[in-house]
Amino acid sequence: MASEETPLLREADESAAVHQHDAVYDRFSTSQKQIIVAVTALTGTFPMFASGSFIPLIPQIALDLDSTGEVVSLAVSLSILANAIGSLAWAAYSSFYGRKSVILWSMTIFALGSLGAGAASDVPRLLVWRIVQAFGASTGLSVGVGVLADIYKLEERGRASGIFFGAILFGMSLAPTVGGVTAHYYSWRTTQYGLAVAGVLSFLLTLIFQPETSQPGARGVDKLIEKEGKARWVWLNPFSSIALLRSPNVTFISLSQGLVVLTDYVLLVPIAYTLAAKYHITNEAIIGALCIPVGIGNIIGSMSAGRLSDHLVVSWRKRRGGVWCPEDRLRATTLGGIVLAPLSIIGSGIITQYCDDSLPMMFLNFFCLFVNGIGVSAVFNPGNAYLVDILHSRSAEVTAANMACRNLVVALSVGLILPSINTFGIFWSFTGTAAIAWFGYGFVLAVLRYGEQMRAWVDLGFSTAATN
């Protein structure tokens, strides 16, 4: 008799487990989730917006502070590095104290850093306040991805991530336009004060509209209260997330993103000295607008790649008879990593250096920027969603580790862009960057082919279908 009841009992247990698993993601209605994504995406734009709005300001800042473009561009590299360190710290504390409180504190620091940057009277002060600004802004990506992982199921995560990263990457490319317009009609300092106001706005929206999204019982402070009966301040190691890079899966995806996204930075950071100079543009507002094609490509590529990656996860799981392989999501990156991102920057290099400055050539160059935006985000979004899939319970930390590795690569490279162009020319600098992007995408191919074996090399407590 017992043996006859066993299958029924097993089915009942499995049904209860599925119901309990789904209930975690049903805590918020669809409209609530949409509001949470919108508020979180606004916060997520600040790291990219703070650096992107700085790009068209470099010549004006150099003139105002009696410096050079090469020296002032160090502010971009330092802010990227500060962003990486900050994301590690905020991720660790968001897992312990929750997402909402960490975002509120970070937006306070971001606003203060922006005010300081706007009031800076020399380059050293500007660099210091830019570091503070970037540290505060850095919560947007790592904690933002953690918020998405808190509220969306595995099969929905790519699409939500596509909307989130699409908005962020579009903000990155829209930022130079906003910064350029403000600098042209007011000054570069007004741009920094505007960022301070945006930080205060994000603080208020988070305070009013965003609930705590951490899954029940998942926060470290919840366990502390259960153990000691009260909450208290706990010092955490902000660099603990770096230990996740022990996994070749995490490291390879992070390196690939850092090397592929370089194509974006090489196109955008020196744009005042490349495309603007080619087409005789000196107006900061128009220089900033040159970045818009990349942003449009970013949002299209991110959203389409997110949907495609979700579709591939579901379809390949059906092919395997219900067996989930997280690497299937990475299949959505192939076109962007092999074709769109590298070939588009080569095309832009050829047009900028060797073709005339006629209107058709200018629009063809803009098309290359648009295609590059699609290609980069098509690699970026599924890769981030993949890392959350394999380490769902540590989504903010793995995103922070990813950002730290990726941003270190970018920070070490950005300062070399203008010297490279001055030494080797636009075409060879752009073509070299494309070669680096192809090399970087090789890491994705390695994970796609050997990901399951790699996860066995270093066991970080990877997620399963049941815990995702």
Does residue 454 sit within a domain? yes
pLDDT of 15 above 80: no
Confidence of residue 17 (pLDDT cuts 50, 70, 90): very low
Model confidence band, residue 457 (pLDDT cutoffs 50, 70, 90):
very high
- Let me know if residue 17 belongs to a domain: no
- Please check the confidence at residue 16 and state whether its pLDDT lies above 60: no
Domain presence at residue 319: yes
pLDDT at 1: 42
Q: Answer whether residue 6 is part of any domain.
A: no
pTM: 0.76
Q: Give the model's confidence band at 203: pLDDT under 50 very low, under 70 low, under 90 confident, else very high.
A: very high
- What is the number of other CB atoms lying within 10 angstroms of the CB of residue 465? 14
CA 92 to chain centre: 17
Assigned domain for 441 exists:
yes
Let me know if residue 442 belongs to a domain. Answer: yes
Residue 342 in this model has a pLDDT that exceeds 70: yes
How many structural domains does the chain have?
Answer: 1
- The two structure tokens encoding residue 134: 């970037």
User: Does a structural domain hold residue 253?
Assistant: yes
Q: Is residue 37 part of a domain?
A: yes
> Which CATH number fits the domain that encloses residue 363?
1.20.1250.20
- The pLDDT score that the predictor gives to residue 288 is 73
Report, as an integer, the average pLDDT of 294-320.
89
- Give residue 145's pLDDT band: very low, low, confident or very high (50, 70, 90): confident
- In the predicted model, is pLDDT for residue 98 greater than 60? yes
What is the model's pLDDT at position 367? 96
Full domain range(s) for residue 192: 30-467
